[in-house]
């Protein structure tokens, strides 16, 4: 099983009904919008997908439904964020059974594992499956950094570890990775506000957040940059930046779900302990979204550059 780790891969939100059940109808609306815009994969169960609030069965349902919706057009990837190695192995087994094409993996949750423990964890889980894996490296939010030396050991021992979601917030880390590993490790930017810069520095793709509400604009930026149409990409990116900054916030889920409502491909229902935004906070976010929607750019034929 292989994945071409490149392009735009949305970290999709999980849709809920008014009575806190999975909203599979709106989930399908959004996934179809992503695929129609030209995304290169679908990532389920990340931070934006409210994974910590989902039951194991709900995660499995999302994978099965997404696999049916995309119908082989793009890979479906499920995030693995577990507290124990045993639980992570079980999640990986379920992913394979449910038809997932690959995995995105965080280091152990809650316990701040040291380098040896983190590498041992990744090796144990990776060696329990043949599914391709993208390591999610986000020391800012999760407190554990996967260093280049750690990646060296993982790449030597686990051929199915093939990519990194680069979220260190250090743009120069892309060059360090390229200098050390060349094409052995694909790089996907995991920070919306650094995505264009990351692609210009050699990143292979973008695990995106605001793509959930604005799929075409997100894919257009990636496609134009890769086609050498940097000026055109920057024009769209400058329009997009105030919206992208909604992702760099502790309320990113609520923010992005409000944006999905504005573009007609989502609802703002979140699962407690999250609550919908209220008051001045809500109005500030809505104003950013309203301005973005009202000035939405006319896109060039970016799909001609997709491969």
Cα 15 off chain centre by: 16
Six token digits for residue 41? 């994969």
CATH class of 7-305: alpha beta
Give the start-to-end residue ranges of the domains of the chain: 7-305
Q: pLDDT at position 194, please?
A: 98
pLDDT digits (tens, 9 = 90+) for 90-134: 999 999 999 999 999 999 998 899 999 999 999 999 999 999 999
Question: What's the pTM value of the predicted model, to 2 decimals?
Answer: 0.97
Label residue 72 left, alpha or beta by phi (over 0 means left) and psi (-120 to 50 means alpha).
Answer: left
Over residues 192-221, the mean pLDDT reads 98
pLDDT digits (tens, 9 = 90+) for 149-175: 999 999 999 999 999 999 999 999 999
């Amino acid at each position: 099983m292989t994945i071409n780790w490149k392009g735009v891969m949305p970290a999709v939100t999980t849709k809920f009904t008014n009575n806190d059940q999975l909203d599979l109808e709106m989930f399908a609306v959004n996934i179809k919008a992503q695929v129609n815009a030209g995304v290169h994969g679908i990532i389920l169960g990340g931070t934006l997908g409210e994974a910590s609030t989902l039951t194991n069965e709900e995660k499995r349902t999302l994978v099965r439904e997404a696999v049916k919706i995309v119908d082989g057009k793009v890979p479906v990837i499920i995030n693995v964020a577990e507290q124990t190695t045993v639980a992570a192995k079980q999640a990986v087994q379920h992913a394979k059974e449910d038809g997932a094409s690959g995995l995105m993996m965080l280091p152990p949750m809650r316990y701040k594992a040291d380098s040896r423990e983190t590498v041992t964890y990744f090796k144990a889980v990776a060696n329990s499956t043949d599914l391709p894996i993208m390591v999610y490296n986000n020391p800012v939010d999760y407190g554990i950094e996967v260093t280049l030396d750690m990646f060296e050991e993982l790449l030597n021992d686990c051929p199915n570890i093939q990519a990194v979601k680069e979220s260190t917030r250090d743009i120069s880390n892309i060059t360090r990775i390229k200098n050390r590993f060349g094409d052995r490790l694909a790089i996907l930017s995991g920070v919306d506000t650094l995505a264009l810069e990351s692609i210009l520095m050699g990143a292979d793709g973008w695990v995106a957040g605001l793509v959930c509400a604005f799929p075409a604009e997100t894919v257009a930026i990636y496609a134009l940059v890769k086609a050498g149409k940097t000026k055109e990409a920057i024009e769209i990116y400058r329009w997009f930046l105030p919206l992208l900054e909604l992702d760099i916030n502790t309320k990113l889920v609520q923010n992005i779900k409000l944006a999905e409502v504005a573009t007609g491909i989502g609802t703002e229902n979140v699962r407690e302990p999250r609550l919908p935004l209220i008051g001045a906070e809500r109005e500030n976010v809505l104003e950013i979204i309203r301005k973005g929607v009202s000035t939405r750019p006319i896109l060039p034929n970016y799909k001609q550059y997709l491969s």
